[in-house]
Chains A and B, each alone.
Chain A
Amino acid sequence: MDKGLALRDVTITKEGAPLLSVNHDIAPGEVLTVMGPSGVGKSTLLAFITGTLAPDFMATGEVWLDGHNITHAASHQRRVGILFQDDLLFPHLSVGANLAFGLQPGGSAAQRKAKIAEALDEVGLSGFADRDPATLSGGQKARVALMRMLLSEPCGLLLDEPFSRLDAALRAQVRDMVFDRAKVRQLPVLMVTHDADDAQAAGGVIVTLGG
């Protein structure tokens, strides 16, 4: 029962006014979708889990990941991966260097290079390592962002409206790719979205906030 992402009595308030409450366990390979119109604080929940909550918010409750209480851990030690609606590739680094940023340290330069090439192969972007991320298409960027995150070997995955910037044709393709990879790696996934299609496609429990 230890594996997975658990939100225990998480309540977030803004200047004293309650914003949202969640109490939910997400098992490995499962998806929890949090739905609601913009402005109800969906992204705030993710900020709490990544440890980047803005100072005007207050939160109570605990976050457990794979049996560790990460509620008060430093952001970079939580092992929680996140994807936003924008790809947020580092514009000063090449595609390969972006992936190397994500890839855990260790291994020889050649081994690391091979791992990066392999990751690019996996999403159909072979030979893109030296490209400037700004020259990629929207779908390509989304795939690089996904692989960069996976290379950091997270234990859980957060999705913040991750597909809303993609056009309809790409959207299903990228969405399937993300959920497939998460399932293969047995990652618990928490997605916030206002899009019913995305929620359906996730195929897990749906919690609706606000309204």
Chain B
Amino acid sequence: MNRRRFLPLLPILTLLAMLGPVAAGLWGTLLPAFGHLPAAGLTGPSLAPFRDLFDWAGLPRAMFLSISTGLLATSISLAIVMLVTAGWSGTKPFRALERLLSPLLSVPHAAAAFGLAFLIAPSGWISRLLSPGVTGWDRPPDLLIVQDTWGLTMTAGLIVKEVPFLLLITLAALGQADAQRSVAISQALGYGRVTGWLKTVFPRVYAQIRPPIYVVLAYSMSVVDVAVILGPNTPPSLSVQIVKWMSDPDLAMRLEAAAGALLQLGLVIGALVFWRFGEYVVARLGARWIASGARGKADGVVAVGALIAGTLCALSVLLGLVVLTIWSFAGFWGFPDAFPDAFTWRNWMRFGPGTLDALGETALIAVTVALAALILTIGCLEAEYRYGLSFSQRAVWLLYLPLLIPQTAFLPGLQTLMLSLGADVGRIPVILAHLVFVLPYVFLSLADPFRAWDTRMGTIAAALRASPNGVLWRVRLPMLLRPILTALAVGLAVSVGQYLATLLIGGGRVATLTTEAVALASGGDRRAIGVYGLMQTGAALVPFALALLIPAVVWRNRKGLRHG
């Protein structure tokens, strides 16, 4: 039927869905940045938007915040993950940490950020637990911890979320790096565990995890939701300021926002180039370190330190979720009591109906986007298999492209462009915008297991006279049920966590759990935030639980698929 003609088109359609909005958004940024916005009666070209931007007194600090949070969050989380893996991979503590961190991967950034804020704020849980006994405080101290001027808390909020991400990516890369034997050999040569790993395995692993590291860097530099919750206000980071300008009723402010967006793009590109240069320097120094033959004296200390840091990351997110839960059930909770006077359902009665509306919107968007991404991904991979196509290493970078271009660089432009074209903002554009971010993750999640499937199964099935579609539907997809559901869960979690795409492309009219939760940040109603944060986390976590549970139930009598 026409499926045969349709399948080869899917890879192209996928690329379009992923890169089309990015390209359109950049175009929509470029014009207003140079003063051209016919919708507001302005025609360019002019350099006025950039002049306004550079006249803004907060700009140097906003740029600094973007660069410092990006570089710090990326290098610290990378260091923690590498050193923990170097010192502990294959041991019991490592497996425990791995099990602790992997579910945390799906906790939305906003929920993790709220949790962290509720933990470490002057009136947070840690302060309450230690007061007045240890600290002697009977009222919250006047300290600026959350939203500190230097963006350190915001950086910490990013680190606790990026560590699980990088750890999972590293584990996937380790399988192909022949790590165990390299470490065994270097240990036999008298190297410490950490030093041996860094000198032999790290270069191979790093080469493989380089694209996701760049993604972490670009993301950390331009994140908005975490910055709104944990970042400084006066001035905020550049990306937050861009969003503020975008929401100004004065359309002319969009010109300044567009100029800011281009500047943000330039900063990210500059930081990526700087990071690449740093790689050369580290490689040079590393080569010298290897040549020196140093066996590593401080290995034990480094390994313990890394494990503590990794555990702290996991605990921050976990305890953050605990404190969100406590607040969502809290009656009166005065400082410095360690726990509320009473637990009550009242907060849930009060905010529950609102969260259910938001949950419905969130689920509708997430399910549509994740299913679309899954179908496109399976179509691409099946086309690759049937027609013997192979994607080069360069094509893999295309997958990462939408994740490397800062959201604040193209989403404002996309909104402005839609406005100029008279296109309506709302649910369907939001779905298309989410697809840009969901597709790469779904594809990256499913590609390896899909390609690892034993193609002799296909040969056998064809020899038994099953058509190509029959092989796909009756053999390949059922056998890949678990990775397919996992990819779907990844897609759902990514969509649930989207803040900026929902806010800007939805024109403020599409209210998901994430936009509602982040909107609560300025009000500081901890009970409401607790309820919304938990609902948001649940919306992202439940699909993962189902992705584990469903295959276990469906294939309960099929031993051959239990570890597949």
Interface of A toward B, CB cutoff 8 Å: 47, 50-52, 54-55, 74-82, 84, 86, 88-92, 94, 101-102, 104, 132-135, 148-149, 152, 154
List the 5 shortest-distance A-B pairs measured between CB atoms, nearest first. A91-B560, A134-B559, A134-B560, A75-B462, A55-B388
User: Can you give 19 A-B contacts (C-beta < 8 A)?
Assistant: A50-B463, A52-B462, A54-B388, A74-B467, A74-B468, A75-B463, A76-B461, A76-B462, A76-B471, A82-B459, A92-B475, A92-B478, A92-B479, A92-B555, A132-B559, A132-B560, A133-B560, A134-B558, A152-B463
Q: Is the pair B463, A80 in contact by a Cβ cutoff of 8 Å?
A: yes
Q: Is the pair B464, A50 in contact by a Cβ cutoff of 8 Å?
A: no
Q: Select from chain B the residue with minimum beta-carbon distance to A92.
A: B478
Q: How many A-B residue pairs have CB under 8 A?
A: 84
Collect the chain A residues with CB atoms within 8 Å of residue B463's CB. Answer: 50, 75-76, 78, 80-82, 149, 152, 154
Contact of A135 among B455, B465, B481, B559 (CB under 8 A): B559
Looking at chain B's contact residues, the main secondary structure is helix
Question: What's the tally of chain B residues with a CB closer than 8 Å to chain A?
Answer: 30
Query: Closest CB of chain A to B4's CB: distance in Å?
Result: 11
B451 within 8 Å of A (CB atoms): no
Looking at chain A's contact residues, the main secondary structure is loop
Collect the chain A residues with CB atoms within 8 Å of residue B141's CB. Answer: none
- CB within 8 Å for A92 and B470 given contacts A52-B459, A152-B465: no
- CB within 8 Å for A88 and B462 given contacts A76-B467, A132-B558, A134-B560: no
Query: Closest CB of chain A to B408's CB: distance in Å?
Result: 42
Known: A76-B468, A92-B560, A132-B557; 17 extra A-B contacts, CB below 8 A, are A50-B463, A52-B458, A52-B462, A76-B461, A76-B466, A82-B463, A84-B460, A86-B456, A88-B454, A88-B460, A91-B561, A91-B564, A92-B555, A134-B559, A135-B559, A149-B463, A152-B465
Q: Is the pair B558, A82 in contact by a Cβ cutoff of 8 Å?
A: no
Collect the chain A residues with CB atoms within 8 Å of residue B471's CB. Answer: 76
Q: Select from chain B the residue with minimum beta-carbon distance to A43.
A: B456
Query: Closest CB of chain B to A133's CB: distance in Å?
Result: 7
Q: Select from chain B the residue with minimum beta-carbon distance to A152.
A: B464
Interface of B toward A, CB cutoff 8 Å: 388, 454-468, 470-471, 474-475, 478-479, 481, 555, 557-561, 564
Contact of B462 among A50, A86, A91, A104 (CB under 8 A): A50
Q: Is the pair A50, B478 in contact by a Cβ cutoff of 8 Å?
A: no
Q: Select from chain B the residue with minimum beta-carbon distance to A130.
A: B557
Contact of A90 among B459, B475, B481 (CB under 8 A): B475
Q: Select from chain A the residue with minimum beta-carbon distance to B388.
A: A55
Q: Select from chain A the residue with minimum beta-carbon distance to B562.
A: A134
Collect the chain B residues with CB atoms within 8 Å of residue A102's CB. Answer: 464
- CB within 8 Å for A88 and B457 given contacts A55-B388, A76-B465, A132-B560: yes
Collect the chain B residues with CB atoms within 8 Å of residue A78's CB. Answer: 463
Query: Closest CB of chain B to A179's CB: distance in Å?
Result: 19
Best-surrounded residue of B471, B478, B558 (most CB of chain A within 10 A): B558
Q: Is the pair A101, B466 in contact by a Cβ cutoff of 8 Å?
A: yes
Q: Is the pair B456, A92 in contact by a Cβ cutoff of 8 Å?
A: no
Q: Is the pair B564, A148 in contact by a Cβ cutoff of 8 Å?
A: no
Query: Closest CB of chain B to A154's CB: distance in Å?
Result: 7
Bound-state CA distance A74–B413 (Å) is 49
Collect the chain A residues with CB atoms within 8 Å of residue B462's CB. Answer: 50-52, 75-76
Bound-state CA distance A190–B75 (Å) is 59
Bound-state CA distance A51–B465 (Å) is 12
Q: Select from chain A the residue with minimum beta-carbon distance to B480.
A: A92
Collect the chain B residues with CB atoms within 8 Å of residue A76's CB. Answer: 461-463, 465-468, 470-471
Query: Closest CB of chain B to A15's CB: distance in Å?
Result: 15
- CB within 8 Å for A75 and B459 given contacts A102-B464, A149-B464, A152-B464: yes
Query: Closest CB of chain A to B485's CB: distance in Å?
Result: 14
Best-surrounded residue of A79, A86, A132, A148 (most CB of chain B within 10 A): A132
Q: Is the pair B461, A101 in contact by a Cβ cutoff of 8 Å?
A: yes
Collect the chain A residues with CB atoms within 8 Å of residue B555's CB. Answer: 92
Collect the chain B residues with CB atoms within 8 Å of residue A148's CB. Answer: 464
Q: Is the pair B465, A91 in contact by a Cβ cutoff of 8 Å?
A: no
Best-surrounded residue of B388, B462, B468 (most CB of chain A within 10 A): B462
Bound-state CA distance A102–B465 (Å) is 8
Bound-state CA distance A75–B470 (Å) is 12
Bound-state CA distance A34–B351 (Å) is 74
Query: Closest CB of chain A to B464's CB: distance in Å?
Result: 4
Q: Is the pair A82, B466 in contact by a Cβ cutoff of 8 Å?
A: no
Bound-state CA distance A154–B460 (Å) is 12
Collect the chain B residues with CB atoms within 8 Å of residue A75's CB. Answer: 459, 462-463, 468
Q: Is the pair B459, A50 in contact by a Cβ cutoff of 8 Å?
A: yes
Bound-state CA distance A80–B561 (Å) is 28
Query: Closest CB of chain B to A136's CB: distance in Å?
Result: 10
Query: Closest CB of chain B to A185's CB: distance in Å?
Result: 15
Bound-state CA distance A148–B564 (Å) is 23
Bound-state CA distance A35–B454 (Å) is 25
Q: Is the pair B459, A92 in contact by a Cβ cutoff of 8 Å?
A: no
Collect the chain A residues with CB atoms within 8 Å of residue B456's CB. Answer: 84, 86, 88
Bound-state CA distance A94–B561 (Å) is 12
Query: Closest CB of chain B to A126's CB: distance in Å?
Result: 20
Collect the chain A residues with CB atoms within 8 Å of residue B461's CB. Answer: 76, 90, 101
